[in-house]
Amino acid sequence: MTDLQTQQRDGRPSGRPHVVIIGAGFGGLSAAKALRHAPVDVTLVDRRNYHLFQPLLYQVATAGLSPAQIASPIRRIVSGQKNIAVLMEKVVGVDKERREVVTSGRRIPYDYLVIGTGARHAYFGNDQWEQFAPGLKKIDEATEIRRRILLAFEKAEASQDESERQRLLTFVVVGGGPTGVEMAGAIAELAHRTIIADFRHINPAETKIILVEAGSRILTSFPEHLSASAARQLAKLGVTLKMETAVTSCDVQGIALKDGSRIETATIIWAAGVMASPAGKWLDAPSDRAGRVMVDAMLHPPGADNIFVVGDTAAVTDANGIVVPGVAPAAKQMGHYAARSILALLKDEKPRPFSYRNYGNLATIGRKSAVADFGRFTLSGFLAWLTWGFAHIWFLIGFRNRLIVFLDWIMAYVTFERGARLITGGEN
């Protein structure tokens, strides 16, 4: 165990304050970038070597984009920033007393700590469902879901058993939040438009995409009329909505619902809930039901003024009493706020509390289908979809392939093609 800080400059101690950032998601990266010219040394720790543009992960799961198009090496993103060291290691705890981050291999002392470790999907105490109903947070999960969806079509094409074929052509998405809606819409397009011309025995009319939601409407973070619009747009794409229907179990043959019914299916996608990373446990701090660390409006957990929790890992009500949502722009703002607060603290100034700026809320449904809520006005359909498309390509910042993703999308739009229809992994 050595002091990483003293290694910062080729082994020479810099003597400058050491900021450790755990997690290179939107929050952590935003904090790192905002410290670019600060008189501090920064260590950015992540268990993966890439930053993932998670809002487009569903495109990987539905064969529209390749992993490398939405993931970029962390080292490259911060390559030009001289005061930063990147460490690919798994954090296992935080020693608040000694002010050290504990990884699988070492202890890293910190003066300031920013935690943005994100969230995982949650099965509400039924973790055994995960093998039958994978969630969508990581690249490997996205390629596994892609594998399952494409393999279901292949097996259906080859199957000579009518009921088995129907089961294979039934896709169930659990959860009517943005991810569930995106997934259901994208699978519907894949089934009804993209793939079908390539098969000889599959009848598009046989394919069923069912979106199961426990609540009374989808996209609850949007105004009600947009939820209704999204439901109509999904129906138009051929998605069946099952509202106010909770899941009681998942197995290898299908899914059982609270109304006593059962759907035979080979492909279930879980988009029903999130659970924050174990940062709350590391910090021994109170967390909410979703495991998010309860922080004050300065993003501090109780009694730790040198620690900031950002993004999906934090449960925070901002200076204006707004409950900050778990979306990428909020994570970015929090990361930036944490960096500015550290700069203020270094000058013995008192940071002002965090206030969230809502620039709008977007959810895409499919080709030419989306909803957008800008507070003063809302959009749905084609215009919302265009807005969504430009916003997402624009925010692929730091990705040299922004242009290539853009070209890919234009081609996909014109041809209905999806460029990444590969069944990889497994035994093949």
Nearest residue (CB) to a second copy, 105 versus 286: 105
Measured distance CA(297)–CA(406) in Å, rounded: 38
CA atoms 221, 227, 229, 230: torsion sign: positive
Nearest residue (CB) to a second copy, 49 versus 387: 49
- Shortest reach from residue 268's CB to a second copy, in Å: 21
- Shortest reach from residue 170's CB to a second copy, in Å: 19
Residues forming the site for a second copy (CB under 8 A): 2, 7-8, 10, 47-50, 66-69, 71, 73, 75-76, 79, 85-89, 105, 139-140, 143, 150-151, 154-155, 157-158, 160, 195, 197-201, 400-401, 403-404, 407-408, 411, 415, 417, 419-425, 428
Nearest residue (CB) to a second copy, 49 versus 240: 49
Nearest residue (CB) to a second copy, 383 versus 411: 411
- Shortest reach from residue 291's CB to a second copy, in Å: 21
Give catalytic status of residue 157 as yes or no. Answer: no
Mention every residue, 6+ apart, whose C-beta is less than 8 A from residue 411.
Answer: 417, 419
- Shortest reach from residue 64's CB to a second copy, in Å: 10
- Shortest reach from residue 423's CB to a second copy, in Å: 5
Nearest residue (CB) to a second copy, 151 versus 214: 151
Q: Please identify which residue in the block is written with the tokens 């084609």.
A: 382
- Shortest reach from residue 193's CB to a second copy, in Å: 13
- Shortest reach from residue 73's CB to a second copy, in Å: 4
Nearest residue (CB) to a second copy, 9 versus 217: 9
Measured distance CA(49)–CA(133) in Å, rounded: 26
Nearest residue (CB) to a second copy, 348 versus 428: 428
- Shortest reach from residue 149's CB to a second copy, in Å: 12
Nearest residue (CB) to a second copy, 136 versus 250: 136
Catalytic residue among 182, 206, 224, 349: 182
Residue 232, phi then psi, degrees to nearest 5: -65, -45
Q: Which H, E and C letters describe the chain, residue by residue? A: CCCCHHHCECCECCCCCEEEEECCCHHHHHHHHHCCCCCCEEEEEECCCEEECHHHHHHHHCCCCCHHHHEEEHHHHCCCCCCEEEEECCEEEEECCCCEEEECCCEEECCEEEECCCEEECCCCCHHHCCCCCCCCCHHHHHHHHHHHHHHHHHHHHCCCHHHHHHHCEEEEECCCHHHHHHHHHHHHHHHHHCHHHCCCCCHHHCEEEEECCCCCCCCCCCHHHHHHHHHHHHHCCEEEECCCCEEEECCCEEEECCCCEEECCEEEECCCEEECCHHHHHCCCECCCCCEECCCCCCCCCCCCEEECHHHEECECCCCCECCCCHHHHHHHHHHHHHHHHHHHCCCCCCCCCCCCCCEEEEEECCEEEEECCCCEEECHHHHHHHHHHHHHCCCCCCCHHHHHHHHHHHHHHCCCCCCCCCCCCC
- Which residues are part of the catalytic machinery? 182
